[in-house]
């Protein structure tokens, strides 16, 4: 917060507290010439008269004590702009203390699990329950609680991987993140060219598309797309280029979705979690993600873990 806004907040808060005290003091005094028990002359609903009686003294004292409490609280705790309070308390410091306490308690467990190779760890039901909780807290917001993904977020339960599904590749993706870059080809191809390449890509997994579009589309694909996706469209995991010959689509496999991807491009980002989770936790999450697809080949890989 800038100095100006800090001073503004301090003045505003103190002025309000002082104003409340003045308001209580001024309204607790009897008007000049008035006597306790007399009416003020105000009548409501024909028969409700307002009497000139002051507030009870205990009530006034209670209000004054509350105002004093407000000043004391603001002196001890944050609330006056950039002033941190005499006790130095903050939500951030409390959070850091809780994190430190949790780290001291759980770090040995994570360290022990992280010493086990991922394929072996993926077969440990108790470890995978820990991995499932870590995944739910840090990954489910994008990939879903069941890890089946959504539009723009890969399904982690199949055996189709943009950057590779080996234990090392999965761990690297989580640790360092990934940056997917599909350039926009709309200006280079034109609308007709986009339609042609989209039709060709649409046909790569056996679906039918008009021949008058797929034939020129194949030539344009070879010239502009094969360097990443391969001449046969099976992709390149070193580049994160997807396999276009299966029926797995991150952004949708309809003709319109493919056309939009080619025309406008895609910029997928998998954030790095190394600093957030640390290597030990990442190792456990990687084992859990690995187990989600490994179970298809080895049903015992995730025994005891609910999906």
Domains of the chain listed by start with CATH number: 52-89 (no CATH), 99-175+279-302 (1.10.760.10), 180-270 (1.10.760.10)
Which pLDDT belongs to residue 41? 77
Question: What is the total residue count of the chain?
Answer: 307
The pair of three-digit structure tokens given for residue 234, joined into one six-digit string: 């099976």
pLDDT tier, 296 (very low <50, low <70, confident <90, very high otherwise): low
Per-residue pLDDT at 57: 87
Over 80: is that where the pLDDT of 37 sits? no
pLDDT of residue 290 exceeding 70, the answer is yes
pLDDT of residue 26: 86
| Res 286: pLDDT | 98
Give the residue with greater pLDDT, 97 vs 1.
Answer: 97
Which of the given ranges, 20-34, 139-153, 283-297, has the highest pLDDT on average? Answer: 139-153
* Banded pLDDT at 305 (limits 50, 70, 90): very low
- Over range 261-284, report the average pLDDT: 96
Which residue's entry shows tokens 């609910």?
306
* Average confidence (pLDDT) over 233-261: 95
- Residue 1 is predicted with a pLDDT of 83
Tokens, residue 223: 């010239």
CB-based contacts of 24, cutoff 8 Å, min separation 6: 60, 63, 64, 67
pTM of the model: 0.72
pLDDT classification of 299: cutoffs 50, 70, 90: very low
């Amino acid at each position: 917060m800038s100095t100006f806004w800090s001073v503004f907040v301090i003045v505003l808060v103190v002025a309000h507290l002082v104003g409340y005290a003045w308001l209580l003091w001024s309204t607790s005094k009897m008007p000049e010439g008035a006597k306790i028990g007399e009416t003020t002359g105000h009548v409501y609903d024909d028969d409700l008269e307002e009497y000139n009686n002051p507030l009870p003294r205990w009530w006034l004292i209670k209000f004054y004590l509350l105002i004093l409490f407000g000043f004391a609280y603001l002196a001890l705790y944050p609330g006056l702009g950039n002033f941190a309070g005499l006790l130095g308390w903050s939500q951030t410091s409390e959070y850091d203390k809780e994190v430190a306490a949790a780290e001291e308690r759980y770090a040995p467990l994570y360290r022990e699990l992280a010493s086990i190779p991922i394929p072996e760890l993926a077969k440990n039901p108790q470890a995978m329950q820990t991995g499932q909780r870590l995944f739910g807290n840090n990954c489910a917001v994008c990939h879903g609680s069941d890890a089946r993904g959504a539009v723009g977020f890969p399904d982690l339960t199949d055996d189709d991987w943009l950057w590779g599904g080996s234990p090392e590749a999965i761990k690297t993706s989580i640790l360092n993140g990934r940056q997917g870059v599909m350039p926009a080809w709309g200006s280079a191809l034109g609308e007709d060219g986009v339609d042609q390449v989209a039709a060709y890509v649409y046909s790569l997994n056996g679906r039918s598309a008009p021949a008058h579009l797929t034939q020129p589309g194949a030539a344009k694909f070879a010239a502009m797309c094969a360097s990443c996706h391969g001449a046969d469209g099976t992709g390149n995991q070193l580049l994160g280029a997807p396999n276009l010959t299966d029926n797995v689509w991150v952004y949708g496999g309809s003709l319109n979705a493919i056309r939009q991807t080619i025309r406008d491009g895609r910029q997928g980002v998998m954030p790095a979690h190394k600093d957030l989770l640390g290597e030990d936790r990442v190792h456990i999450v990687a084992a859990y993600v690995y187990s989600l697809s490994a179970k298809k080949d080895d049903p015992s890989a995730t025994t005891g873990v609910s999906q």
